[in-house]
Amino acid sequence: MKLTIQNLSKTYANGTRALHNINLEIPTGLFGLLGPNGAGKSSLMRTIATLQDADTGSIMLDDLDIMKNKQEMRKQLGYLPQEFGVYPNISAEDLLDHLCVLKGIVNKSERKELVKALLSQTNLYDVRKKNVGGYSGGMKQRFGIAQALIGSPQVIIVDEPTAGLDPAERNRFLNLLSEISEKVIIIFSTHIVEDVKELCTNMAVINKGEVVAKGNPLDLIEVLKGRVYRKIIDKHELAQHQQNYRVISTRLIAGKTEIHITGEDAHSTLGFEPVAPALEDVYFDKIVS
């Protein structure tokens, strides 16, 4: 199974260019779509999910033309949007049963077995009688995956799913995605670099509506080898360094500022030291103007 996106572009009525000439091949497994807020990730997800039309380009799921066969694509799709609402005063078991009916599963015994299986798979079976409104953030996200799995989809889209989760819930959710991705395509859209680094064997970085990097995370890191340097400076020195070097990231450490730069013109005599690049450096290197 493979999702092929070619020359995809989208400009909204207000003139905002959301997507520009997107070209991607997404195989079975976890595919990370990394980018800052407003980069175009959600626009791309909505287009793949047939919730909006592109201006130009094509999206193929193997031989299925998604743009010409939207209803067929929707049968193959599970979707967990960034803003996932639930009916708060209904149990997870009853709500999932209701969603199965909406998906066309009318046989009661079939629904009962499916609901049980999905709640067990997402580790929610023991709290199936609890109202979904009383679930924690991580439990709601796992319920979101349960509803996305109804109908055995071939493509699952999750949009910023770990934002706001505590570390334990984040780990449970990521482990669940990893298990599911062995048989289906999961497009994992996020601005959290750690999520992609830990999960995905294929990824793309999108910025200002364009794909600025794509490939295996380790291969992308290798490209930066020997080109990333760090230096600890006082905060008041930052502006001058930003003028003189291509500063891709900064962070505070014990009252000082650590900067990372890319380029061949920085060396130890200037107070910089080389560092092994990380995926975070790849990300910032591609989104810094």
Q: Lowest-pLDDT range, 168-182, 203-217, 239-253?
A: 168-182
Domain boundaries, the chain: 1-76+185-215, 223-287
Q: 150-198 pLDDT, tens per residue?
A: 988 999 999 888 877 788 888 888 888 888 888 899 999 888 888 888 7
Per CATH, is 223-287 categorized as 3.30.70? Answer: yes
Q: For 214, how many CA atoms within 13 A lie in the half-sphere containing its CB?
A: 13
Residue 12 clears pLDDT 60, i.e. is over it: yes
- Section 96-112 average pLDDT: 91
Q: Do domains 1-76+185-215 and 223-287 have the same CATH topology?
A: no
- C-alpha 251/C-alpha 75 separation (Å) is 45
SS3 281: helix
Q: Lowest-pLDDT range, 23-27, 72-76, 268-272?
A: 268-272
Residue 17 clears pLDDT 70, i.e. is over it: yes
- pTM given for the model: 0.86
- C-alpha 143/C-alpha 132 separation (Å) is 8
Per CATH, is 1-76+185-215 categorized as 3.40.50.10490? Answer: no
What pLDDT is attached to residue 29? 94
Supply the mean pLDDT for the chain: 90
Residue 268 clears pLDDT 60, i.e. is over it: no
For residue 256, the cross-strand partners are 253
What pLDDT is attached to residue 263? 80
